């Protein structure tokens, strides 16, 4: 029986939180070297990539819970991923991309990078490119520092800009409550504020938090909670003081640990189990200081094909 080439591919891709972000000094090119520990969590976008007739170009359609502020043109990272893949592998860029979003936008959870990763995986499947993980990572790193991790998922250490990804051993399930802001924060603005707050200080070269990695391996959620760290948190709270109020609610309700995820403004709380997650979600919702609250678990896999048509 002859297998027909697919016309459409659906890829599911998770969001992420950063259990550690350690930021090095500002370099000559304006960027910062970082060390981060990623965990992929169970909030997903579904990206459908469908072939179009030659000459029709790219069309982009966005739906779902979190669409405000997501560009529906060629500045969208999914469209950039499609064009880059077409150029690199000499395949048509006449594609329809439909994104159903559940990952918050501009929330420090890599929603745009996730969609770019999903597009790379979808096009690989759609045109039977059979790319290796390393080849996909090399394309992803050209699009954004979080894209390589979104291809891999699980738990991993990121170095350099965050795009040099090494898998980290992690056991067990971790329960998260996420306080999601209705208004995003600009990553460049947060890094700029971080530089302002640290002006005149000697900043060490960042290193991975060994206590955190050992706790993940030992399935020790209490120590993981105590080891959460984000050098960008002070800057995010400086730009958005209400984040401190949200962090305070989590402490009052016994969260094992908390931090601003990525460059914010999502605040992630680690809790002991599903019941604790529900209690904290109710408390945050009734506090009046949170846009919306969602629960998730981690780690989960990275971008994966879920349907081929």
- Helix and strand totals (H; E) in the chain: 10, 12
Q: Is 88 left (phi over 0), alpha (psi -120 to 50) or beta?
A: alpha
Between the alpha carbon of residue 29 and those of residues 33, 144, 151, 161, the distances in Å are 11, 16, 27, 12
Secondary structure in 3-state letters for 198-254: CCCCCCCCCCCCHHHHHHHHCCCHHHHHHHCEECCHHHHHHHCCHHHHHHHHHHHCC
User: pTM for the whole thing?
Assistant: 0.94
CATH: 3.30.565.10, 3.30.230.10, 3.40.50.620, 3.40.50.720. Which one for 8-167? 3.30.230.10
Catalytic residue (choose from 115, 146, 163, 231) = 146
Catalytic residue (choose from 16, 51, 80, 101) = 16
Q: Is 195 a catalytic residue?
A: no
Q: Is 51 a catalytic residue?
A: no
| Contact criterion met (CB below 8 Å) for 128 and 136 | no
Residues 166-187 pLDDT 10s: 999 999 999 999 998 878 888 8
* Consecutive 10-residue averages of pLDDT for the chain (309 residues): 77 97 92 95 98 95 87 93 97 97 86 96 97 96 95 96 93 96 86 96 95 98 98 96 93 95 92 97 91 94 97
* Burial class (CB within 10 angstroms; exposed 0-12, middle 13-18, buried 19+) of 28: exposed
pLDDT at 2: 43
pLDDT at 87: 97
List the chain domain ranges.
8-167, 174-298
Residues 38-88 pLDDT 10s: 999 999 999 999 999 999 999 999 999 878 888 889 999 999 999 999 999
Q: Does domain 174-298 have CATH number 1.25.40.10?
A: no
């Amino acid at each position: 029986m002859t297998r027909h080439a697919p016309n459409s591919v659906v890829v599911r891709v998770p969001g992420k939180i950063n259990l550690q972000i350690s930021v090095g000094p500002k370099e000559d090119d304006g960027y910062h070297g970082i060390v981060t520990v990623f965990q992929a969590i169970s909030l997903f976008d579904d990206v459908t990539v469908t072939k179009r007739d030659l000459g029709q170009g790219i069309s982009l359609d966005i739906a779902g819970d979190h669409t405000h502020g997501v560009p529906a043109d060629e500045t969208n990272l999914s469209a950039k991923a499609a064009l880059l893949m077409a150029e690199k592998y000499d395949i048509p860029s006449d594609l329809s991309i439909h994104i159903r979003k559940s990952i918050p936008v501009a929330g420090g959870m890599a929603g745009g990078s996730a969609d770019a990763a999903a597009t790379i995986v979808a096009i690989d499947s759609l045109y039977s490119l059979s790319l290796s993980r390393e080849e996909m990572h090399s394309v992803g790193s050209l699009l954004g520092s979080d894209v390589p991790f979104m291809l891999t998922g699980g738990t991993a250490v990121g170095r350099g800009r965050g795009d040099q990804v090494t898998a980290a051993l992690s056991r067990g399930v971790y329960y998260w409550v996420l306080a999601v802001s209705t208004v995003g924060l600009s990553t460049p603005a947060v890094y700029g504020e971080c530089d302002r707050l640290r002006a005149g200080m000697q900043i060490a070269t960042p290193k991975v938090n060994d206590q955190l990695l050992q706790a993940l391996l030992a399935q020790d959620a209490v120590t993981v909670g105590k080891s959460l760290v984000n050098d960008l948190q002070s800057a995010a709270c400086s730009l958005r003081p209400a984040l401190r109020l949200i962090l305070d609610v989590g402490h009052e309700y016994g969260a094992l640990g908390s931090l601003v995820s990525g460059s914010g403004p999502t605040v992630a709380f680690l809790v002991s189990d599903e019941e604790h997650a529900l209690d904290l979600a109710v408390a945050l919702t009734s506090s009046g200081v949170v846009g919306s609250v969602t629960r998730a678990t981690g780690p989960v896999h990275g971008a994966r094909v879920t349907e081929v048509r």
